[in-house]
Amino acid sequence: MLYTIPHTRRERSILPLTINLLGYNYPQEPVSRSRGLSLFQWIYCVDGRGEFILRGQKSILFPGQTALIYPYEPHSYRALTGEWHVHLIGFSGSCCTDIMKTLKMHESGIYHFNSPELFCSYFEKIIRIRQEMMEESNRRKRRESPRQFPFLISLSKLCYEFLLDLSRSVQFINTSVPDPGSETIRLIISYMEEHYQEPVSLELLADQVHLSRGYLCEIFKKEMHQTIMHYLTNLRISQARIMLTEYPERRVAEVGRMCGFENPSYFGETFRKVVGMTPAEYRLA
């Protein structure tokens, strides 16, 4: 369900933070906004997968990840699976940008989120306050102007608490790549995203699009500015970063195998090269 929380211009000018939009387990439809929104948006993937395009860069949002979109940031997103449900919150206010940057949430992009219950608990509180506000409005509208400002103050406080708690539970993941214009490249990327856990060879990818290996490598590098294997490696490492946090009980070698690295030593070496620390160090960071 999608909720809006209206504010007057005066209320927006007084409150440093306002919650304007809320979606709970929302079946997300395709969105394309060439001028962005006037709000900050946090979008949490509940199930399914979605594709985000920000500043001409594409990222995939997996369950357990969130997307942060700054105001007026051109963006689009769509489901990559039959069902794609999200929790989302849209907020604004004169202090928003300063607060976000102080809390180290500097830029739009994909973040890994390790406390899904946090979103749910705050959403339930926000929905409850909104419901109380609407009930109060309905009771009073025939007699006098509804007194909604105390509710808006409560929501403003709750938004600040939410951002404080959120900042300790998210970690930026740089998984974006240039948005491919070619349908052939889209098919190859989609195949790698679906099968990164399995052995993937250049010959296998070339067969998927009925091209020679050499020609496929040439057009991929020309459009994506990196080799196919470089893209696949970064995709696997991105997933490994998520799983290392999400499954602390699993051994590093097991996480590596889950992400397509059969050799534990190669996984550790590659991870350190890409991330700047070993998988074990990343877990403790």
Q: What is the pTM of this model?
A: 0.66
Q: What is the pLDDT of residue 111?
A: 85
Q: Is 246 helix (H, G, I), strand (E, B) or coil?
A: helix
At residue 282's C-alpha, the angle toward residues 263 and 161, to 5°, is 140
> CA-CA distance, 236 to 257, in Å (whole number)?
10
User: In order of start, what are the domains of the chain with their CATH numbers?
Assistant: 2-173 (2.60.120.280), 180-284 (1.10.10.60)
Q: What is the pLDDT of residue 143?
A: 47
- Per-position pLDDT tens, the chain of length 285: 778 887 888 887 888 999 988 888 889 998 888 888 889 999 999 888 888 888 777 888 888 788 999 999 999 998 988 889 999 999 998 889 999 999 988 889 888 877 778 888 888 898 888 888 878 777 665 444 446 788 889 999 999 999 999 888 888 876 665 556 678 888 898 899 889 999 999 999 999 999 999 999 998 888 877 899 998 998 898 888 878 877 788 999 999 999 999 999 999 999 999 888 899 988 876
